[in-house]
Structure 1
Amino acid sequence: MQAIQHILSRTPTFVWIILGVLVWRGIAASRDRIVPVRQLFILPLALLALSVSDLSSRFGLHGLPPVAWLAGAAATALLAANVPSTLRIERATGLAFVPGSWLPLALMMTIFATKYALAILSATHPELLARTGFAIAACTLSGALSGILPGRMLHAMRALRQPALA
């Protein structure tokens, strides 16, 4: 129990702020809403940038880790881009009807927990980062989780390009 308290007490404040924002955004995503189309792109791009930054700082952008991350991200982005949804975009107004879903909250919490666990492992067992198998597994998982929201963003981009219904 003391180890957990020690880890939690040494977690920087900004990490808890990020968690709070993710929970807030996830709960908001659980309700049907009408949003400006540009808002569909903000969170996926922000989380993607954070994931690439994390990859770069932990494993670097050379060798197998970034390839594993990219493979995981590409696979899930392609899958998510092709999942049918009831997203509706009104191009004339620039607004999108986004059906409520708990998936974004679950996904963001999974990403947060994975990155938090990786940060703890990095701090307590830094030698793991140098192990190729660990690096590939961690980067593939991180990439796969990071590709889902951009995949949904690609789905929205496809909806934007479709001809308007008469």
Structure 2
Amino acid sequence: MLQQIVMHTPAYVWAILAVLVWRGTAALRQREMKLRSLFIVPAVMLALSLQDVLVKFGANAIALAAWAAAAAGTALLVWKFGRSRTAPGATPGSVIVRGSRVPLAMMMAVFFTKYAAAVLLAVLPHARHDALVAAGVCALFGVFNGCFLGRLARDVAALRGIGQAAVPTHAVRA
């Protein structure tokens, strides 16, 4: 059965996996990047997850509520207890991002959750209408998105704190 699943997977799915592995591998190394580039991966993962929620379960209130609650709760926890991975870069508008395994792990988690949910719904189409399946899958997507968004919020807050600390108090005018 596993062989059949892999054989019937469209080629574009493997291309997406390759791009995610490439981006995740790049995140393993410290690098300097534009501040706005920090928003790309969280935005893409957010779009992929929401697209999957809507395609697989429709505008189901339970599915969307499970996604939103899990995303908000996880984002808050990661923002509150996470650690910033950025520092100001050498040029204005750039940041230095510490290498980390977390983005690769999170991208793979989103990919394989999407893949597993697609397989589940292909094998058991009636599961699409099961509130528990919808809530579980969507909550899992919400957790992943919350991790990305919480890390982004933590990094931006840390950079804003550094920027504010660098401005002399006598230079600030009301």
User: Fold match, TM over 0.5?
Assistant: yes
2:6 is matched with 8
**1:51-62 equivalent positions in 2, closer than 5 A:** 51-62=49-60
Corresponding residue of 1:152: 151
Q: Is the 8 A contact 1:44 1:153 kept in 2?
A: yes
State the alpha-carbon separation in 2 of the partners of residues 91 and 65 from structure 1.
44
C-alpha RMSD of matched pairs (Å) = 1.6
Aligned to 1:127: 126
Partner Cα separation in structure 1 for residue 129 and residue 85 of structure 2: 44
Instruction: Name the % identity.
Output: 42
Alpha-carbon distance in structure 2 between the residues aligned to 1:95 and 1:31: 16
| 2:20 aligned to which of 19, 22, 30 | 22
Counterpart residue type for residue 11 of structure 2: T
Aligned residue pairs total 164
Q: CA deviation at 1:69?
A: 0.5
CA contact (8 A) 1:87 1:96 kept: yes
Work out whether residues 49 and 110 of structure 2, in 8 Å CA contact, stay in contact via their aligned partners in 1: no
Name the amino acid aligned to 2:58.
Answer: G
Aligned partners of 1:132 and 1:15: how far apart in 2? 27
C-alpha offsets along residues 46-90 of structure 1, whole Å, 9 cap, x if unaligned? 110111111111112232110001011111111222312241134
Deviations 1:93-151 (A, max 9, x none): 11111000111111111111111000000111011111111111111111111221121
Partner of residue 74 from structure 1, selected from 72, 83, 88? 72
Change (3 A) 1:135 1:86: closer
* Corresponding position of 1:109: 108
Q: In 1, Cα distance between the equivalents of 2:154 and 2:90?
A: 15
Code of the residue aligned with 1:165 in structure 2: it is: A
User: 1:92–1:33: structure 2 CA closer, same or farther, 3 Å change rule?
Assistant: closer
Structure 1: where are the runs of 5+ without partners?
none
The Cα of 1:92 is off from its aligned counterpart by: 6.1
SS of residue paired to 1:34: strand
Who is 2:46 aligned against? 48
Equivalent AA in structure 2 for residue 87 of structure 1 = T
Q: Post-superposition, which runs of at least 4 consecutive aligned residues in structure 1 deviate over 2 A?
A: 89-92, 159-162
Task: Give the one of 35, 52, 70 matched to 2:33.
Answer: 35
Q: Helix, strand or coil: the match of 1:38? A: helix
Q: Which structure has the bigger radius of gyration? A: 2
TM-score, with structure 2 as normaliser: 0.88
Structure 2 unaligned residues grouped into runs of 5+: 168-174
- CA spacing shift, 1:86–1:157, aligned 2, 3 Å: closer
